[in-house]
Each structure stands twice: as structure tokens, then as C-alpha cells.
A and B are shown apart, each in its own frame.
Chain A
Amino acid sequence: MSQVTPPSSSPPAPGRSFPPGAGWLSVLALAVIIVGVSAIQVLPRFGPASQPIAIQGVGPGAGGTGLGTTALPSGVALAPGVVGGAAGQHGSIAKGPGVATGGGAASAQSCNSTNNGGATDTGVTATSISLASTIVNSGVGQSFLGPVQYGMQAVVNRVNRGGGICGRHLNLTVVDDGWDAARGCSDIQSFIHDGAFALPVVPSSEGLKQCIDSGVIHSAGIPVVGSDGMLFDQYQASSKADWVWPVAASTLSTMHIMAIDAYRNHNARTFCLVYDSKYHFGIEGEQAFKAEIGRLGGKLTFEEGLDPDVTDYSGPVNDWNNNCGGVDFAGMLLEPDEAGRWLSDNPTLPKGKGGVAGAQPMFSNSLTANCGDICDGIKVFTGYRPVVDPAYSNLPSVVQYENDVRAESSQADLTNQFLEGGYDGMLLVVQCLKAIGAHLTRAAVKAYLDSTTFAADGNGLTQPLTWRPGNHFANVAMKAYVMVANSGRVTGYRPDSAGFITDPNAGADAPSD
């Protein structure tokens, strides 16, 4: 045993000179400070000046719909039970009151850096708009969230090449946070302090989640536009996320749609679900699925929770096989490699009647690259129009997506739904900024987004997305793609005939805190 430096208390000095001994008095002083500062906080005069966040009468985490009191404007065909409309048909969409689509058009025409009003809000100057976002460039999430920055950058570069918006160039600052919640939220707080105007996309969802849940976003009043994280926290428009406008379909909607599709389009009556029991998306999705089946009148025969850190699932698969042998439909709410491992352990899967479906994260090269024949016939839902669908090979929005991203990175995986979502989110940001025009303020952003419909012509990367105050479940339609495999490899996807399916219960089954 050895240490290089002998630790020392030894010099036989007659007394302590430095640091001085504190004695019990110091403990008393410390106790007084602690008790005093704490006690002060319970006095009304000094007490909490800021109320816990609760807007429009709906408290945080209230079980139930979380929809708030504002209903969707009429004219949008979202009656319950409607499924399988042909792609793109959505009825006429009336614009809600006060939408500034045309407003500002006059100033938009002659809008440039000399007459745009200069610094109209934090982060806005006559020549620039500062946007900031965290990205994932290192760590575990890097492989599927890393590429999103190319989608964001692609849009920004295209806009700036065109002279910016109203003479203002977009300054996008991105900072890696390793997908770490604490680091990410801290970075977001730095962005806010340093004067960013808005936060686009923010693919690093963990940090964003923490900032939303701890009230940072709400109290700062900074818009988070075009996020694609899918977790419920981004949709709490009645409370903490009133400044967040997601473009992605929520996990809740995904699971609702999955159940509805199986029940109505394939007459499935008995269901089984395998889900990730450790992470949020699995936990949220599981209860949404269960609830939707209940509403439909089906039966959830069995559900299996998987631990992502275990490599061998033979035990759970055995359990599954014992219980799910004769069910009509199996839902999978897993990450790609979890799904791959589970499938390779040979669970019995229903082949007919809608068979097996997976949630959006499974729409990924990392699953198809390793899956093999067992993936044949398994469908995955997505809220975007993917490039692998031959029907969209000429759709301008899809083509532009491909070209723009390819210009940024020759290797990015275009089928990565997070990438596509990030690109789409950025498009939303740009549309919003263009529509507002010269007098650019955060309040204007909020007013615009809360009254707009994005991709309204039905030819965007998603179905039309409509946000309203208190209800930010805009992307509520998803489409399924069936994996095709032979000779041991997945060769591609086939679009499911049902087309886009809309979730009539968007926002229902919010997780209870």
C-alpha cells in the first residue's frame, strides 16, 4: 500500500492559524441562516410570487384529456370513428378567427432590412434572427438523432441563400448536449439568457423535456417551433408547453391509430402488446393503447414489458407465446434494436387480421438492416410522407426534402423519421416567420401558430397540421408501411392500403403524474 504524498496533520505547530477553527457558534449561525431563509418563504409577503403553472383552468397533469377548453374549429372532419379517408382528403378547413395569414402581406411585399422595423424583439435585429437549438452529436442517441441537424441546416441555408426573411438572415446556433437532460436544459437556459428569439426543432428531446417540465420554457415565453420528439410533455399546451408547437404525431396518437386500424380495418378483437417498460415512450404508449382498445370494445389479452438493457428475451417471449398464441393483433412499442432482439427470439405473431404493427421509431434502417424474414408483413406507422413510398417520388415537398438534405450530407439516412420531422419542423418555422413579416415578436409567433394550419394543401410532408390555443395535437394522422422481406433480408416497404388514418381521440390518455 502506498500513497505518494503522505497526508499530513503532523507538523507539531502549537496552534491552528489557518483556516480558523469554526467552533459550535458557526453551526448555530448556519442553522439560523437555513431556518431563516426557509421560514421567510412561507410568509405571504415574501412567499411564492409566481404561481405553479396552471393556465386556463386545467391543472398540470390532470388526468383526462388535457385538451383544455378550446375545441377545434368546426369544419375539420374529425368525427370519432372516421377512419381510412383517402390520402389527402380532409374536408374543408375553415380558418379560425384572427389568423394572420394575409395580415402583413402588404408589408411582406416590400419588406427588407431597411424597413423591417429593426429590433422588434429579443434576438431580432434589422439583419438577423437568432435561432438556437441543442442537437445530439455524441453519445448513445447520436446515430438516430444526429442527422436531424442536417435537416435543420438545409432549410436555413436555402432561406439565407434567398436573402433571408424580410431582409433578416437566420442565425442558427446548434450546440451538442449528448442527449443529456441536465446538460440540454442548461444549454437551453443559456440560449434564453443569451437572447435567442426562438428554439426550432430541438431534436435533443431529453433536455427540452426537462426544460418544459420544470417550467423554464413557459416562464421564459420563448417559442419552441417544430419539435418532433413525440412524447406527451411537448403537447401540454394548456399548461407547461403552451409555447411548444410539435410537428410530430404523438406517441399517444400513434397507439390510438394502431388500435383503430386493427379494429376497424382488420376486424381484430383480441390484442397483445409488447412495449419498452423503462423509457417514457413505452410507458405512455402502453396506457394509450390499452385505453383505446377499451373505447373500441376490444380486449387486451396480454401485454409484455421489456427491459432494454437485457439482451435475451426468451423468458418474456415464452410468456408471450403462452398468452398471445391466438390473438388477432400484436402491437410493438419498442426501439429498433430492442424490437430486433425480441423478434429474433421467435415470438408467435398473428399473421392475418392486421397482424403486427410497430410505432414510428421502428421505421428505421437499423431495424430493417438486421431483421430478416421475420419482419415480412410487419407494418410500421409514421406521421410523415416517407421517401420510400413510390407514390411520393414526384411530390414536390418530398423531392425538395431529399435534395435539400443531400446538399448538406451525402450519407444521411433519408428514411430516418426524426430527420424528416426535423426538416419539416424547420419548414414550419420559416413559414411562420415569413407570414409574420416585419413586425416580428414572440407574441406574434404564438398568435400565428395557435391559429394556423400548416401544409394546408395536403401535399406537404405531413397531413395538414392545425394548432389551437390549448390544443397542440396537430399531427394526428399516420400512415402504415408494411415491410417486405425475402431470402433473409428486408428489401423494402409497401404502403398499406388504408392510407392516412386520423386519431379521433387526439390528446386523450395523458399520462398521470
Chain B
Amino acid sequence: MSRSFSVTLDLHPKHLLGFAIVAFLGVWPWLPFAPFSVVGDAIVAAEYAIVAISLVLLVGWVGQISIAQAALVGVGAYTTALIVQHLSVPFPANLPLAAACSGAAAAVLGAVALRVRGLYLAVATLIFGYMADEFLFHQTWFSGYGGEAVISQPLIGHQGAFPSFDFTDRRTFYYVAWACALIALYAVANLRSGKTGRAFFAVRGSEVAAASLGINVTRYKLLAFVISGVLTGVAGNLIMVGQQAASSDQFDLSVSIFYLSIAVVGGLTSLGGALVASLIFASLNEAFLRVHALNGYLDVTSAVLLAVVLLAYPGGLGAVPAMLRTRQRQAAHLLDRFQRGLRLRRVLRRISAGREVELAGMRTADAPSSHLGEPPPMQESASAPERSTATGPDEETGVLSIASFRRNRVVLDPDRTTRPPLIEAEGITVRFGGLVANDDVSFTVCEGEIVGLIGPNGAGKTTLFNAVAGLNQPSAGRVRLMGRDVTDWPVHERARLGIARTFQAIQLFPQLTVFENLMVATHLQNSTGVLAHIVASERSIRADLAARERVREVLEMLDLQALAVRPVRGLPFGNLRMVEVARAIVTGARAIMLDEPASGLDNAETERLADLLMYVRGALGITLLVIEHDVPFVTSVSDYMYVIDRGRLLAEGPPLEVQRNEAVIAAYLGQAVPSSARRDAAAGARGG
């Protein structure tokens, strides 16, 4: 299980080219004809790249708009000056210190700004940037006289003698700056492919769903702020040490907007794109300032570039590889068909087999953290549309049919008290203003049961559900999960106890594939921390592998492998419902609450869903609470039922009893019904 250095050694010409490029990049500043000003631009590009990476994380992955990055860079730069002047700590020791200061500032900003939502956050960061620009960076005690801070950087060793290391020499500093940029890139890329990255995407995709999977949304947003703050601190430190001076103009609002433009042109979510965009903007600077005829057009050009990229290519530079691959794939298919026609198939297939494997591998891996060499074991799934299997999606409709699960009929002891209660609601009353949505409702779900909660539309079922899940605060009553009183607990805490849920309006994470959606659900089972992910420690990799194993198991169990690598967006509704259930199972929950799972499904799908639920309870031993208004469905699966109408508990009991309850029937049909019609209705419900 050697993990670290199993870099495959087949030397593709592509790799050799890569090495040559890297070698050149390492050596060029010292070549005799290297223009000195371009070396300076390269350093600036590294600094841009670090800030752009911080924006990709904060804005692209977690979705929190920040217009304060330049201010945070300024904090890093000025604190570096203070550290050097007052504490005499030299570079590079002052780098982590300055980065920590910026991180702390970002934490403060985040802690306050996250109390408000969405667009307010953008305004809050705007205000911070504005305040720093006008106030903080003109205070002599902080940013020096007139907003200008100066440090002097000693030389290590004696000039001319070896060893000596002069940080003020641009060519030497080039290495330092790019080393920092590459380390930052590596660290953030590591984050992305692990638990933390998935949590970030989950927070962006659907905060409610993320919380229901145990992700502390606020904590992760704050974490994103802190990490991006640390990165900006690094950039600020490099600016101060490299230039030995900084003035407040470098950190004003327009610069924050400029940094944002770089990240956008790179495609907000792509690290590689951010890197390339940084290089582009640094070169633009050079071109527009050096070339006399272009002077004065830099602002216009950057603005136009940003606008064009946004409007025409929203994916930015990060989308370019995918676009190229699509073209390449199309070209390859055309070529293939052409060659088939020419009967050169056999010979060419051997050549193209290597390419096919790569293509299949590449189709599923879009990211800089690409996994070279080994194709995913689920290769058949990647080419599923071409072949049809019994469990593959239907060619026409794309609907994956739910394999039939054996209907595990479990016989439970009618005495409910023999089973420990997992979910208890006591006297829940929920008021919205003057409207009483739930009035003193109580129910219990005991281990091993499938409990149904039904009621006509508007009865207050979903409100009750959300009160139990933690999205509503009941005005009276207690909620107990696994025996603990959780009435005041936030949503993510409740998930820790082993409760999962599904949503009526599917809350999957749209930018991720099915597999990734399920991977998010392994969050609670993965106890590794952020730092472990950043360094990609042994433990974190192992935890990641274990998570993948678990997800694969669940996918197999539910026969969903065919969907694994498909993005969630675009899948038919029935499949999405299945995926949500699978996600709940992956969490390892002891009890799952389902909010109107049958809504949006046709009759056949509903049948299958019922089978699935029975299977989940029977084979996996998971307790279920199902809230529905489709009576036949619920009665066919439940062991015990509660009926709610107009906010009040109307009846409870085993399904047969409840079905015959006159009050219940009246509630649904609106009037008392003669007994013969009742019998027919009951028969019809069972058969449906």
C-alpha cells in the first residue's frame, strides 16, 4: 500500500515535455537575456496567484463573496513590517506569523459577517475593505507614516561570498515567491479532494442538506474565511519582503475587485485556471505599461476581458480543459467510426485502446488533482450509454429502474414498549405568527419500526417534520432523539446522534456527481481534521479510501453503480430520490426520516420505493419515519401510523385500524362514508 511515491514511470513524451518546461521555469531568471522586469512580473504573478487561490476557495467553492481580499493582504503586509520592526523576526520566520495575523483578521471578519446571509456578506466585506482603506491603513501606529511601511531586509551571509542569500535580489526572490505559490496550490488542492473540500461544496450546494449530514455550516464557512485569510497573509508578507516597502494604495477596494477579476477569469472554481489567469494579468500589466502606444488602456482592457469571460465563458479558463476534452473525444469518435468503416479496426483498436482508457479516465476526472495512470475500476459505468445492461439505465428514458428488492416482511412485536424509542416528539406546538401549524402533537418512533405520518395537504406534516429535524423552533414541546433531548440543538448536532433525512424538494448538491454526493455523507464517520487534509497525511488518505469503500458498498447494495459518475443535474427525478435515500444510508444513521418520498414518483416507482424501504429496514436494520400524504403507499409499508389533520393528531395505531378510523376517512374525504364504500376504499388502497 505504498501511497506516497507510486508515481507511474511510463515516460510518455508528454511527461518529458512537462519536465523540460519545469526545468526551464526554474532556470530562466539567471539566463543572460532574461529581461529583469519580466522576473519582477513573475513575482507579481505568484502573489496574484496566491490571492486568486484564496478567492477560489472562498468564493468559488464555498460561495461566500469577499470584496476584502486586498485589505487582508494589506493586513499581512503591514503586520510583517511591524513584526520586523518591533520583534526583529526575519524572513522566513515572519511569514507564518504574518499569515496568522491575516487569518485572525479574516476570522473576525467572518465571525461577524456570517451572522448575515448571502448578499449581506458581500456588503460586509465591502465595508471592511472600505474601513481598512480609509482608516486602518492611515494609522501611523499600524501602517507607518502616511500609510507607507518600510523594512530593511538583511542579507544572509556576506555579499559576494558563498553561501549568501539575498532576498532583495529579484531573481532569488522569484524562487521564494513561486515556492510559496506552489505550496499554497498543493495545500488547497489537497483540501479539495478530501473531506473538507467536499464539505465546502456541500455548504455551497445546499446548506440545509449539508447540515442534515452533520456538517457544521457556520464552522466551515468560518474555516474557509480563515484559510483564505492565511493565504492572503502569505501574499502580503511576500509583497512586503520582496519590495521592502508597501504603501496603502496597493490595498484599496479597486485592488480587491481586481483580484476578484483574476479569479473569475480563471473560472471561479478552478485552481489551475486561477494560476493561468494570474499569469495573464501579470503579463497584461507588463504589456500595457511597457508599450507606449498601449498606455492608459490597461483598465479598459481588463474590464472588457472580465466582461467577455463572464458573459461568453462563465466557466472561465478552468473550463478550457473540459472543452478541449469534449472536442478531443468527439474527434476520436469520428476517427473511430471512420476507421471502422475502413476495416482497419483491429490494428487501430490496439492503438486507441490506450486512448480509450485515458478518455474514460479523463471523462471522470476533470481536476488538477488528476489521477494519472490508473483507470477507475468502474470502467463499464463510464461507457454505460453505449451498452445496455440489466441494471443500466433505460436507453430511451434514462430511467434507472430500481431493482426489485425482496420485500422483507418483518414481523414486529405489537407491544411497542419492547423497543427503545429512537425519535420522540412530545407535545410539539409550532406557531408562525398567529397561525398554529402544529398543536400539541406527540409521536414516537421505536427501533426497527417503519412509522408513517400521514395527513391531508396543509395538515402540518412538514412543519412537524422540520421541528423534529431542527429547522423549526417549536414554541412548546420537546424533541428527543436516541433518548437525548435535542429541542435546542442545531441541525448538524442532531445528525451526530445517528439521524438522517431526505427532502421533499430534492436537496442534492448539484455541481457534484452522484458518487461525490454520497461521499459527502461520510463526513461524520471521518474523524480527520483540516490540517491532516492539507498535508494529505497517511491517516487522511486512509480515511478517504474507507469512505470510498463505504459509498461503493451502498451503491452496489442499491444497484446504483451505473449512476455513480454522472452529475446529479439532469438525472430523472426517480433516480434522484433513490440517490437521496442512498445518501441517508451512507451516513450510517440508525434512523432515517423521509419527507414525502413518494411525491413526484409514478405508480411503478412508488411500488419500488416501498420495496426499497422495506429492504432498508429489513436487511439493514434502519428505523424509518415516513411522512406522506399518499395513503396506500404508507399503509403498505408502515408498522404504525399517525394521522394529523389541521395541526392536531387525529389518530394513531397500526395501519389497518387507522384506515378504518372514521375521523380519518372524514378528514380525507370530507364527509362520513357508508361502510360498504369504506370496505371498497380500503381494498382499493391496499391494491394500489
Interface set of A (CB-CB < 8 Å, partner B): 1-24, 26-27, 30, 33-35, 37-38, 40-42, 46-50, 52-53, 137-139, 142, 175-178, 180-183, 185-187, 189-190, 193-194, 206, 209-210, 213-216, 278-280, 283, 307, 309, 511-513
Contact = CB atoms under 8 A, between A and B. Distances in A.
Contacts of A137: 292, 295-296
Interface in B35-56: 35-37, 40, 44
A235 to B, nearest CB: 15
A8 B369 CA distance: 9
A513 B244 contact: no
Nearest to B150: A213
Contacts of A180: 249-250
A18 B372 contact: yes
A48 B40 CA distance: 24
A193 B35 CA distance: 10
B601 interface: no
A17 B6 contact: yes
B201 interface: yes
B274 to A, nearest CB: 13
Contact of A186 (B37, B152, B296, B516): B37
B245 A185 contact: yes
Nearest to A240: B150
B552 interface: yes
A182 B377 CA distance: 52
B205 A1 contact: yes
Q: Is the interface of A mostly helix, strand, loop or mixed?
A: loop
B154 A182 contact: no
Contact of B146 (A3, A15, A183, A279): A279
Contacts of B152: 52-53, 214-215
Q: How large is the interface on B (under 10, 10 to 19, 20 to 34, 35 or more residues)?
A: 35 or more
Contacts of A8: 364-367, 513, 516
Interface in B233-254: 239, 243-247, 249-250
Nearest to B315: A4
Interface stretch (B156-164, B436-444, B641-649): B156-164
A137 B293 CA distance: 10
B204 interface: yes
Centre residue among A4, A7, A8 by max chain B CB count within 10 A: A7
Given A5-B318, A8-B367, A9-B197, A48 B155 contact: yes
A372 to B, nearest CB: 30
A213 B513 contact: no
Contacts of A35: 93
Contacts of B183: 30
A278 B192 CA distance: 42
Given A7-B201, A12-B515, A18-B7, A37 B156 contact: yes
Contact of B36 (A7, A30, A46, A193): A193
Given A33-B92, A193-B170, 15 more contacts: A3-B315, A5-B366, A10-B512, A10-B515, A12-B377, A14-B545, A17-B8, A38-B93, A137-B296, A182-B246, A182-B250, A190-B40, A214-B151, A511-B145, A513-B144
B148 A4 contact: no
B96 interface: yes
A2 B509 CA distance: 10
A41 B241 CA distance: 15
B319 interface: yes
Interface stretch (B463-471, B532-540, B653-661): B532-540
A405 B91 CA distance: 48
B314 A4 contact: yes
A193 B421 CA distance: 79
26 contacts: A5-B319, A5-B322, A7-B201, A10-B512, A13-B371, A16-B371, A16-B536, A17-B372, A20-B5, A21-B4, A24-B535, A42-B90, A46-B157, A50-B154, A53-B152, A138-B288, A176-B295, A180-B249, A180-B250, A181-B249, A183-B289, A210-B148, A210-B247, A214-B150, A283-B145, A512-B145
Nearest to A138: B296
Contact of A50 (B7, B155, B201, B377): B155
A11 B314 contact: no
Nearest to B249: A181
Contact of B369 (A1, A3, A19, A209): A19
Nearest to B38: A190
A17 B535 contact: no
A407 B186 CA distance: 57
B538 A23 contact: yes
B316 to A, nearest CB: 9
B499 interface: no
